[in-house]
Structure 1
Amino acid sequence: MTSDLSEPSPAHQVTRKPKVSELVAAELRRQIAYGRWRAGETLPSEAVLMERFGVSRPTLREAFRILEAESLLNVRRGSNGGPQVCTPDIAVGARYVGVLLQVSGTTIADVLEARLTLEPPAAALLAARRTDQDLRDLGDCVDDFERVLEEGGDGLDAGVWVSLTQRFHDLVLERSGNQTLAVQVGVLWEVVTRHVSVAVHGFASPLRPAEIRQLAGSCRRLISLVEARDAAGAERHWREHMQTEARLLLRDDLAAVTVLEMFG
């Protein structure tokens, strides 16, 4: 059988050599990651960096654009400007992950299932490691949750509900003490937030006040379990809470909405 010469075999594929600008960006990225420059600090002048790396101004500026796209730099214009180091937002990771999910046609139900697998163990870690400040912050979040609900009556603003819900989930992840888990689930939560935005714009009231009161009470229950350092109970309860939350979010046939539809 004659082989198809239009596509080279893996053995003959040529690995692309990185551009000089990519190599410069990689080195600057490494130095930022190691803390040579902190968020808010400005990198040395272009003249200094050009001499240090032995590159032209256009090459250096292309490296800056690469890091700007990654939200590691913010290049300010003007005489007092320059490349300022930024703290990358988790939304940046969500955009890249979103592209991968788009290609595979992933549904929001699939994303929520992944969260359901990862986030309850964070609740268990929180219960085992919690501090008094953690309890206060979680309690304050639910206080705000209930206050807004009471003030809104039957006309609860769905956008406020989304914001407060996200904050509580963020606290559970942040205070678990496991940064890897917090980042992974945080990226998925960004995708879920997109879904909620679809629900908010498509329906006047995604959740009824009685349903939100139920979720608020469930958050109170988690705080009690965390305070008692009941790790197993916290994990079990938070899984049940998230299952209930998912059923409410995925009604009206929204389970089949794909990540492509939300990010596109």
Structure 2
Amino acid sequence: MSNREPAPLGAASGSVRIPKTAELVAARLRTEIVRGQLKEGDTLPPETTLMEEFCVSRPTLREAYRLLEAESLIQLKRGARGGAVVSVPDISVAARYVGLILQMSGTTLDEIYSARMVFEPTCARLFTERRTDNDLDDLRACIDRMCDITEEDLKTNRAPEIWAELTGSFQSIITERCGNNALSVQAGVLRDIVTTHQKSALDRGARRKGTWPAYRRNLRSYEKFVSIVAVGDGVAAEEHWAAHLRSVGKILFSGGVGRASIVELFS
């Protein structure tokens, strides 16, 4: 249970035109979640308590719940110990909504990857300049898991998930721990879209000749990156990561694949 303090509905600065009461209730609860008054895992007070606090009916409160659930800010659990539980949306939530906007504007995979080339190398430099021993350990642990993958593994039906999951974990460490939340979120959204394509591309080409050499090259590039991070050379890390992304892009988007709209990717 949370330690939230009730406040009058609509107690906010400035005048706001409210089309529906449920939206106002959702806005109040959303603010409390964003400000940390309600934390992940907190259970909201019983419906009867919130109905009395906000002076609303049960249908109105449940409509507010549906709005927050659609934003991945709460989860509704059933049963005797059920209720509305606060959750924190991950980067995939942002990627889904941004992906919809990009699809509607006819954005291509090339454009997505070009934007990624702008954000991620900068993240790599910032990450290197502030990395901790724990960060290095996590990168090395990720590489150790990659080293456990064999050529036979990459011929199985699980190859796309194995490869995409491990590379995604490695990249997430770099962007999520770079120390700049704005860059981290932008890079994460773009990476999530590219990873969706990567899974699709690897699924189509998992059994093609040449997958294993490409995997080994990718692994060596990661190992070199870690060695750069270990000595704290941010400029070199930025340059290496940019070169790494260019190399991977040539493989992922060969044959004009990059000119395809991401509508095809998510449809």
Mark yes or no: TM-score above 0.5.
Answer: yes
Contact 1:146 1:213 survives alignment (8 Å): no
Partner of residue 171, structure 1? 173
Aligned-partner residue type, residue 179 of structure 1 = N
The equivalences for 1:123-138 within 5 A come to 123-138=124-139
What is the CA-CA distance between 1:200 and the residue it aligns to? 3.0
CA distance in 1 between partners of 2:152 and 2:41 (Å)? 38
Question: 1:141-198 CA distances to partner (integer Å, 9 max, x unpaired)?
Answer: 1111121136637668232011101001001112212222111111111111211132
Structure 1 residues 222 and 68: CA distance shift in structure 2, 3 A: same
Q: Give 1:252 deviation, angstroms.
A: 3.7
Amino acid at match of 1:176: C
Deviates most, 104-113 or 154-163: 154-163
- Residue 204 of structure 1 deviates from its aligned partner by 3.3
> C-alpha distance in 2, partners of 1:137/1:150?
24
Q: How far, CA to CA, are the matches of 1:196 and 1:238 in structure 2? A: 18
Aligned residue for 1:57? 58
Task: Mark the runs of 5 or more structure 2 residues left unpaired by the alignment.
Answer: 1-15
The amino acid across from 1:202 in the alignment is: R
Bigger mean CA deviation after superposition, 198-207 or 175-184: 198-207
Kindly provide the amino acid, as one letter, of the partner of residue 227 in structure 1: A
User: Percent sequence identity over matched residues?
Assistant: 43
Tell me which residue corresponds to 2:78.
77
Q: Is 1:154–1:209's contact at 8 Å kept on the other side of the alignment?
A: no
Shift of 1:247: 0.8
Structure 1 unaligned blocks of 5 or more: 1-14
Corresponding residue for residue 99 of structure 1: 100
Within 5 Å, give how 1:30-49 maps onto structure 2: 30-49=31-50
* 2:33 aligned counterpart, secondary structure: helix
Q: Report whether the alignment pairs 1:26 with 2:27.
A: yes
Query: How far 1:103 sits from its partner (Å)?
Result: 1.0
Secondary structure, counterpart of 1:149 in structure 2: coil
- The 1-side partners of 2:78 and 2:144 are apart by 43
CA RMSD of aligned residues (A): 1.9
Change (3 A) 1:36 1:149: same
CA deviation map 1:96-147 (0-9, x unaligned):
1011101111111111110110000111011110111111111111111121
Number of residues paired by the alignment? 250
> TM-score, length-normalised on structure 1?
0.89
SS in structure 2 of the partner of residue 75 of structure 1? strand
- Name the structure 2 match of 1:183: 185
Structure 1 stretches (4+) deviating beyond 6 angstroms? none
User: In the TM superposition, what are the counterparts of 1:1-264 in structure 2 within 5 Å?
Assistant: 17-149=18-150, 152=153, 157-205=159-207, 208-264=211-267
Matched letter for residue 187 of structure 1: V
Q: What's the CA shift for 1:199? A: 1.1
What amino acid is the match of 2:19?
A: P
**Deviation per CA, 1:212-248, whole angstroms, max 9, x where unpaired?**
1111111111111111111111000100000001111
Q: Which residue does the alignment assign to 2:4?
A: none
- TM-score normalized by the length of structure 2: 0.88
Distance 1:143 1:50, change over 3 A: same
SS at match of 1:246: helix
Equivalent-residue separation in structure 1 for 2:199 and 2:167 (angstroms): 13
Q: Structure 1 CA distance, aligned partners of 2:33 and 2:171? A: 29
Distance 1:263 1:178 in 2: 29
Q: For 2:88 and 2:129, how far apart are their aligned partners in 1?
A: 29
Indicate if the aligned counterparts of 2:160 and 2:203 stay in contact, CA closer than 8 A.
Answer: no
CA distance in 1, matches of 2:121, 2:108: 21
Measure, in 2, the Cα distance between the counterparts of 1:77 and 1:98.
31
DSSP-derived class of the 1:253 partner: helix
